[in-house]
């Protein structure tokens, strides 16, 4: 899940980097960590994860215990946060110059802020394609954390966005899996008549709306134009596909969700629970959520759970084979005196055995390690989702992490305004263009 931003992370990172550099020079002036040195197996290693809460929190706890058993003089201290809490925790730790040795990151602008701020160690020597460690991963996963030809991130798991659906609900309503966006909208009335909320949706955190929008943008806007618009220096945000996407999203909210204009007050977890509880027919979700909606105690069974990409609108000008998604991973603190030990720990985390465990139930987080996701160790839906991600023409990163904070905030506010009816698609685009101009 994606971060919302109450305070732009770039401002926090820049301020912290300046302090670390003594305020007299650039962040790069501070001594860099030697990640390629021989690790010293002694002391405390701190790790900020995004695996807070059951069942995910056990994964890093078990890994840490195994590493400590292998290296008895090392103490791994975990700071386990959730999807929603980690953004604020990261900002707090960055602002106080207390970033841990290893810390979670999204791709795109979020990671780039730490890289350009001198707070992420250069791992090229260790993890670039062609290195022993780097060859564990697909090149696309590594490239997601590449900047100016250097590699900074350790991709832990891959991700993509799909519509999850209840096969029994579709059968009850007499509808088929839609192949176009219009067909998706047409399924909603019969699903509602059969007693189901057609599409469960909660936008209280802001980013769920942007997931719909970014996938629609990928379909409706030519790829070169879309990617140019992610950079304020080349952005125009004026292709007609943007307005078409905003209008299509409004139609989906109004025609297919029970809360309609009230979805800004609904948590995404409430929507997730509606599908898991058999009350909703569909829920637009990340691969990372697939095993959650069919977990023990859920009404929805694995046999009844299916997935399909958000259908492509008719006459779309973009890439119909694109999937919204990105790997998520970890950075090593460039100022950490334990950087070599941190790298050694992350090599341990991404060993094939541990990667297979991550991909298996109850975690269901599809590892970026090549060959870790199999039909034997993963649920049918997770395996299918990763296969579709691997076959996609491109992965289009999350809208609120791929753009600069000012533009991301404008999109977050715009999505909420579209849902509430307080702004038209044209007005939302005007606000995004104004934010883009201010970010140049």
Please state the rounded mean pLDDT for residues 88-95.
95
Residue 32 has pLDDT above 80, yes or no: no
Helix (H) / strand (E) containing 139:
helix 139-143
Q: Are 32 and 121 in contact (CB under 8 A)?
A: yes
**How much is the pLDDT for 94?**
95
Residue 200 has pLDDT above 60, yes or no: yes
Please state the rounded mean pLDDT for residues 321-327.
94
The span from the CA of 75 to the CA of 317, in Å, is: 53
Q: Is the model more confident about 17 or about 176?
A: 176
Residue 243 phi/psi, 5-degree rounding, is -65, -40
161-323+399-439 topology per CATH:
D-Maltodextrin-Binding Protein; domain 2 (3.40.190)
Question: HSE on the CB side for 411, CA within 13 Å?
Answer: 31
Q: What is the DSSP letter of 312?
A: B
Q: What is the DSSP letter of 31?
A: P
Phi-psi region for residue 218, left (φ > 0), alpha (ψ -120 to 50) or beta? alpha
**How much is the pLDDT for 7?**
46
Return the minimum-mean-pLDDT range out of 225-229, 295-299, 303-307, 359-363.
Answer: 359-363
Please name the residue that has the structure tokens 């998520």. 328
Confidence of residue 16 (pLDDT cuts 50, 70, 90): low
Please state the rounded mean pLDDT for residues 212-238.
97
Q: Are 343 and 329 in contact (CB under 8 A)?
A: no
Confidence of residue 249 (pLDDT cuts 50, 70, 90): very high
**How much is the pLDDT for 1?**
54
Please state the rounded mean pLDDT for residues 359-371.
91
Please state the rounded mean pLDDT for residues 162-186.
98
Q: Following DSSP, what letter does each residue of 321-385 receive, concatenated?
A: T-EE---EEEEEBTT-TTHHHHHHHHHHHTSHHHHHHHHSTTT---BSBTT---TTTS-HHHHHH
pTM of the model: 0.80
Residue 285 has pLDDT above 90, yes or no: yes
Q: Indicate where the chain has its CATH 3.40.190.10 domain(s).
A: 9-159+326-372, 161-323+399-439
Residue 217: alpha-carbon gap to chain centroid: 17
From start to end of 90-237, where are the E strands?
102-105, 146-147, 150-151, 154-157, 161-166, 197-200
**How much is the pLDDT for 138?**
86
**How much is the pLDDT for 357?**
96
Report long-range pairs for 95-99 (Cβ below 8 Å, ≥24 apart). 95/12, 95/15, 95/16, 97/16, 97/19, 97/20, 99/16, 99/48, 99/333, 99/335
**How much is the pLDDT for 91?**
93
**Within 10 A of 282 (CB to CB), how many other CB atoms are there?**
30
Q: Is the model more confident about 132 or about 262?
A: 132
Q: Which of 129, 45, 77 is nearest to 345 (CA)?
A: 45
**Within 10 A of 37 (CB to CB), how many other CB atoms are there?**
11
The 10s digit of each residue's pLDDT in 121-157 is: 999 999 999 999 999 998 888 988 999 999 999 999 9
Tokens of 292: 């959650």
Residue 372 has pLDDT above 70, yes or no: yes
Please state the rounded mean pLDDT for residues 51-76.
96
The span from the CA of 9 to the CA of 19, in Å, is: 16
Question: HSE on the CB side for 302, CA within 13 Å?
Answer: 13
Confidence of residue 31 (pLDDT cuts 50, 70, 90): low
Q: Following DSSP, what letter does each residue of 50-86 receive, concatenated?
A: S--STTTHHHHHHHHHHHHHHSTTEEEEEEE--TTTH
The span from the CA of 223 to the CA of 407, in Å, is: 19
The 10s digit of each residue's pLDDT in 330-364 is: 999 999 999 999 999 999 999 999 999 999 988 98
Return the minimum-mean-pLDDT range out of 20-29, 357-366, 379-388, 426-435.
Answer: 20-29
Distances (CA, A) of 133 to 60, 269, 369, 370: 20, 36, 10, 12
The span from the CA of 382 to the CA of 285, in Å, is: 12
Residue 183 has pLDDT above 50, yes or no: yes
Confidence of residue 5 (pLDDT cuts 50, 70, 90): very low
Q: Kindly state the percentage of the chain with pLDDT values over 70.
A: 93
Q: Which of 57, 112, 119, 45 is nearest to 344 (CA)?
A: 45
Handedness of CA 271, 405, 158, 316 (dihedral sign): positive
CATH number of 9-159+326-372: 3.40.190.10
**How much is the pLDDT for 401?**
86
Mean pLDDT of the residues in the chain: 92
Residue 429 has pLDDT above 80, yes or no: yes
Three-state SS at 408: helix
Please state the rounded mean pLDDT for residues 420-426.
97
């Amino acid at each position: 899940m994606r971060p919302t931003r109450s305070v732009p992370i770039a401002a926090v990172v820049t301020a912290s980097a300046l302090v670390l550099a003594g305020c007299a020079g650039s962040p790069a002036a501070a001594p860099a960590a030697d990640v390629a040195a021989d690790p010293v197996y002694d002391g405390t290693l701190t790790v900020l994860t995004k695996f807070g809460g059951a069942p995910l929190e056990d994964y890093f706890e078990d890994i840490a215990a195994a590493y400590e058993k292998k290296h008895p003089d090392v103490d791994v201290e975990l700071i386990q946060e959730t999807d929603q809490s980690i953004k604020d925790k990261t900002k707090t730790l960055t602002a106080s110059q207390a970033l841990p040795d290893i810390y979670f990151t999204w791709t795109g602008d979020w990671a780039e802020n730490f890289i350009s701020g001198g707070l992420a160690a250069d791992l090229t020597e260790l993890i670039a394609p062609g290195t022993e460690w780097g060859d564990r991963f697909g090149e696309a996963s590594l490239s997601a954390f590449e900047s100016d030809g250097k590699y900074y991130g350790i991709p832990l798991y891959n991700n993509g966005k799909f519509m999850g659906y209840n096969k029994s609900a579709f059968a009850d309503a007499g509808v088929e899996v839609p192949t176009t966006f219009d067909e998706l909208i047409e399924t909603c009335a019969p699903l509602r008549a059969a007693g189901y909320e057609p599409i469960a949706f909660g936008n209280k955190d802001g980013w769920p709306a942007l997931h719909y929008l970014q996938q629609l943008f990928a379909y409706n806007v030519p790829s070169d134009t879309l990617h140019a618009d992610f950079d304020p220096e080349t952005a125009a945000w004026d292709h007609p596909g943007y307005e078409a996407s905003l209008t299509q999203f409004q139609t989906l909210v109004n025609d297919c969700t029970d809360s309609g204009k009230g979805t800004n007050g609904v948590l995404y977890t409430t929507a997730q629970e509606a599908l898991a509880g058999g009350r909703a027919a569909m829920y637009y979700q990340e691969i990372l959520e697939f095993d959650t909606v069919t977990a023990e105690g859920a009404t929805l069974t694995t046999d009844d759970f299916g997935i399909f990409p958000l259908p492509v609108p008719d006459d779309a000008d973009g890439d119909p084979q694109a999937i919204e998604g990105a790997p998520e991973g970890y950075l090593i603190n460039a100022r950490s005196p334990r950087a070599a030990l941190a790298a050694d720990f992350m090599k341990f985390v991404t060993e094939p055995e541990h990667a297979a465990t991550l991909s298996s139930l109850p975690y269901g987080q599809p590892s970026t390690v090549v060959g870790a996701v199999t039909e034997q160790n993963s649920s049918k839906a997770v395996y299918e989702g990763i296969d579709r991600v691997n076959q996609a023409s491109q992965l289009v990163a999350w809208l609120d992490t791929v753009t600069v904070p000012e533009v991301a905030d404008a999109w977050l506010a715009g999505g909420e305004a579209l849902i509430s009816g307080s702004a038209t698609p044209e007005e939302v685009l005007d606000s995004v263009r104004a934010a883009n101009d201010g970010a140049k």
